[in-house]
Amino acid sequence: MFKLLKYLKGFRKESVLGPFFKLLEALFELFTPLVIAAIIDNGIAGGDKGYIVKMCLVLVGLGFAGLAFSITAQFFAAKASVGFTAKLRHVLFEHIGRLGYSQLDEVGSSTLITRLTGDMNQVQTGLNLTLRLLLRSPFVVFGAMIMAFTIDPRTAMIFVYVTLILFAVVFAIMLVSIPLYKKAQQRLDDVTGAVRENLTGVRVIRAFGLENSETERFNEKNHELARTQKFVGGVSALMNPVTYVIINIAVIYLIKAGAVRVDSGVLKQGEVVALYNYMSQILVELIKLANLIISITKSIACGNRIQAVLEIVPNNMAPNMENKENAQSNNISEDSGYAVEFDNVSLLYNGGGEKALEGISFKVKRGETVGIIGGTGSGKSSLVNMIPRFYDASEGVVKVNGQDVKNANPGQLRENIGIVPQKAALFKGTIADNLRWGNENASEEEIMQAVKAAQAADVVKVKGGLGAEIEQGGRNLSGGQRQRLTIARALVRRPEVLILDDSASALDFATDAALRKSLRELDFAPTVFIVSQRTSSIAHADKIIVLDDGKAVGIGTHEELLKSCEVYKEIYNSQFKKEAV
């Protein structure tokens, strides 16, 4: 958590002035009981109305001065805490965007959402309270004790005993409640994960009629969170009644001892009232301090969760990522030989028991089309995700343009690769805005060329042109429309390597055939990788890689594989009549 304080550097002035003005307010508060004592002992006892009015005006002045200092302290504390959190949130969001696929899989998206929202707000609240109250409360507690000793050292010993007892009670409750707050935060992660799953999969849930079971599952997690929060809230709630009982017993004893001292002429009535006020101040400030420490502890726990994410070193970032001038170029030239090479590549996911890919070797020349086919879970997506280095090879070497992708500049590497993932992801905005993700400087003419090549011209026309609005996630589009627009988005970049990861599964056969024909006629002649379950979609490819349980069981053309690869022949026969072989 304390490593995060480096983001406070831009707010050093506010971080100093906030506590400073709060201490000034506390100082005025400590003088108030003395003024009240003077009013009682000198004004009321002597019947001096002028003195009473004068001292009342002093009280009003102290109140307004304290209010001014308090507002000023709040301003600086709020400015520092909000600015710190804004900077930290930006850093965390940027860092998450640089994490590799395997790291995102390991951490989990629901946890990352919680850390960007709930944890971040808790850190902001904790920092605000720290700047305002962390110094003020101890200052008032010890200041009140010192002021009590200036009035009557013997009676002031009551303050020492009571303060020690109160500290023991407060910290005992804290030691019990702090671990429970951490547990409650973990329960909140579970609730967030359940909400995210239900919102993203709401159509599937309704299609299978599982609303009731999902509601029960959510209620169970929600009740676990509520139970934990109620229990920790109950433990924390003990603080007020216990401390009030202790302090009121101390007040009774203080008044009794004060009465004896007044009767003996050692103390005046006003001084006893001042001692009572100091005791009340100690009570209020200790309760504040206890709640403050609990809030700070929760903030530290949340800050540690944020720091844990920031300490994850992106596993797909080359050492020279930031130095683009020194980074090796990834442009494919006529003399580069091969566009993509896999040399005995294996892949083991984090926490995976078995290798997702094993011993994959092949070479692809510039401009070739490569088809990748295999059963579910055979490793097709894993293979193509290693080309832009979304996942790192556990063994072997993946090369683009003859260069190991681990030594390449990730930004430049991916600028030359167009990727269409399995899930067609579109974002809220216009069609043009979404397509310009491929090239933000693309002209309308270039965008329309990509749209036509992706067989999406009718989609744009039906929706009302490139300025038509797309809802979040492309909810106002069909599955096939979303797929064609995502293909167009990749083509706008004019990539040198184009990866279609089962991105035409929602297209009919005629549209799929037209798409393949237009890809072959592209003027920039990219090297194309097509992942598909359909043999018809890859039969025209220059090279087909057949995967089975993470291994390449066949590499060749359509005709060659029909003769030599049993797995490919089985897939083909399942889609076409055997007579057609």
pTM of the model: 0.69
For residue 65, what are the contacts with CB-CB under 8 A and spacing of at least 6?
28
Burial-class residue 322 by CB neighbours within 10 Å (0-12, 13-18, 19+). Answer: exposed
How confident is the model at residue 451, as a pLDDT?
Answer: 93
CB 15 within 8 A of CB 131: yes
Biggest CA pair distance of the chain: 121
Q: What is the pLDDT along the chain (581 residues), one digit of tens a residue?
A: 678 888 888 898 999 999 999 999 888 888 888 888 888 888 887 778 888 898 899 989 988 998 999 999 999 999 999 999 999 999 999 999 888 777 887 787 777 888 888 889 989 999 999 998 888 888 888 888 888 888 888 888 888 888 888 778 877 877 787 778 778 877 887 888 888 788 878 888 888 888 898 899 899 999 998 998 888 888 877 877 887 788 788 888 888 888 888 888 788 888 888 888 888 888 788 778 777 877 887 788 788 889 989 998 876 553 333 433 344 444 444 445 789 999 999 998 876 668 889 999 999 999 999 999 998 888 999 999 999 988 888 899 999 988 899 888 888 888 889 999 888 888 899 999 999 988 888 899 999 999 999 999 999 999 889 999 998 888 888 888 999 999 999 999 999 999 999 888 888 888 888 998 999 989 889 999 999 988 888 999 999 999 999 999 999 999 999 999 999 999 998 887 544 44
What separation in angstroms does the CA of 351 have from each of 305, 317, 358?
A: 21, 21, 16
Q: Between helices 12-38 and 118-133, what is the axis angle to 10°?
A: 50
How confident is the model at residue 326, as a pLDDT?
Answer: 40
Give CA–CA dist 143/120, Å, rounded. 34
How confident is the model at residue 120, as a pLDDT?
Answer: 92
Q: 455: closest CA among 525, 379, 409, 517? A: 517
For residue 10, what are the contacts with CB-CB under 8 A and spacing of at least 6?
83, 87
Q: 18: closest CA among 140, 137, 133, 138? A: 133
What separation in angstroms does the CA of 296 have from each of 181, 302, 402?
A: 11, 10, 53
Q: 170: closest CA among 180, 178, 181? A: 178
Q: 423: closest CA among 381, 376, 462, 366? A: 381
Task: Report which DSSP code applies to 311.
Answer: T
How confident is the model at residue 319, as a pLDDT?
Answer: 39
H or E segment and range at residue 374? strand 369-374
How confident is the model at residue 250, as a pLDDT?
Answer: 82
Domains of the chain plus CATH, in order, are 12-310 (1.20.1560.10), 326-416+531-581 (3.40.50.300)
How confident is the model at residue 351, as a pLDDT?
Answer: 65
- Tokens, residue 446: 């270039």
